[in-house]
Amino acid sequence: MAVTEQGVLGEVLQELARLPGIGPKSAERIAHFLLAGDRSRAKALADVLQRAVERIHQCRECFNLTDQELCPICQDPKRDGSVLCVVETPRDVSAFERIGRYRGRYHVLGGRLAPLENVGPERLTLDALLQRVQRGGVREVILATSPTLEGDGTALYVANLLRPTGVAITRLARGLPTGGSLELANPQMLADALEGRRTFH
Ligand SMILES: [Zn+2]
């Protein structure tokens, strides 16, 4: 079903239908909910999105999303800076934080190597990662890229990049559903994969 409304309402429907998991039907339901009668929800949503767009950016240290210079995890003195968990996206950080057991810090790559989609090493935050490790104080890097062909390829690339620094390199244990993404894994599976991590050769 295509969006047929014209004008501003049509634009609202079109934008909503572009969101992940929202088809034209849902877009219509949301648009009517937001615009019928009391518009306070619509105003609050527009307002918070505006502020988010203006203020949310990448953490200077780990590239997680934050509205401050350093994200709360990098700012937290109780987090162990000697362990870095390397993930693809900020959503993966959320997935690990949900299990509530990881006390180290993160490094968000900003994606994974995908030669077929022209995503090469220069598109990821690999230089910053190497610099973080070279600066010292990091004793273990956990490769937590997704259990996919591209995620594995990215893990191998990162491992080769970091190998000369002498840092310990580990990879999440297998057992996560292959081909899936970390944020879809349930917290227990993710906790087990973290616990069972092994040296990456
Ligand atoms: Zn950070």
Report pLDDT for 20.
Answer: 92
Please give the distance, rounded to the nearest whole angstrom, from the Cα atom of residue 115 to the centre of ligand 1.
28
Element (H, E) at 86: strand 80-87
Query: What pLDDT does residue 181 have?
Result: 72
- Helix, strand, coil share (%) of the chain residues, nearest 5: 50, 15, 35
Separation of 72 CA from ligand 1 center, angstroms? Answer: 7
Closest CA to 168 of 142, 194, 130: 142
Strand partners, 84: 105, 141
Centre of ligand 1 to C-alpha 100, Å, is: 17
Q: Which CATH superfamily is domain 7-55 in?
A: RecR Domain 1 (1.10.8.420)
**What is the C-alpha separation between 195 and 144, in angstroms, rounded?**
12
Domain ranges of the chain: 7-55, 70-199
Global pTM value: 0.86
CATH architecture of residue range(s) 70-199: 3-Layer(aba) Sandwich (3.40)
Q: How far is the CA of 88 from the centre of ligand 1 (A)?
A: 14
Task: Count Cβ atoms below 10 Å from residue 88 Cβ, excluding itself.
Answer: 23
In the reported structure, the alpha carbon of residue 79 is separated from the centroid of ligand 1 by a whole-number distance in angstroms of 11
What is the distance in A from the centroid of ligand 1 to the CA of 61?
A: 5
CA of 78 to the centre of ligand 1 (A): 14
Residue 188 has pLDDT above 80, yes or no: yes
Q: Kindly tell me if the per-residue pLDDT of 175 is higher than 80.
A: no
CA of 198 to the centre of ligand 1 (A): 25
CA of 142 to the centre of ligand 1 (A): 16
**41-99 residue pLDDT tens:** 999 999 999 999 999 999 999 999 999 999 999 999 999 999 999 999 999 999 999 99
pLDDT in tens, 97-122: 999 989 999 999 999 999 899 999 99
Distance 32 CA to ligand 1 centre (A): 38
pLDDT digits over 132-152, tens only? 999 999 999 999 999 889 999
Angle formed at CA 130 by CA 128 and CA 134, multiple of 5 degrees:
115
Q: How far is the CA of 67 from the centre of ligand 1 (A)?
A: 11
Inform me whether the pLDDT recorded for 3 exceeds 70: no
Distance 92 CA to ligand 1 centre (A): 13
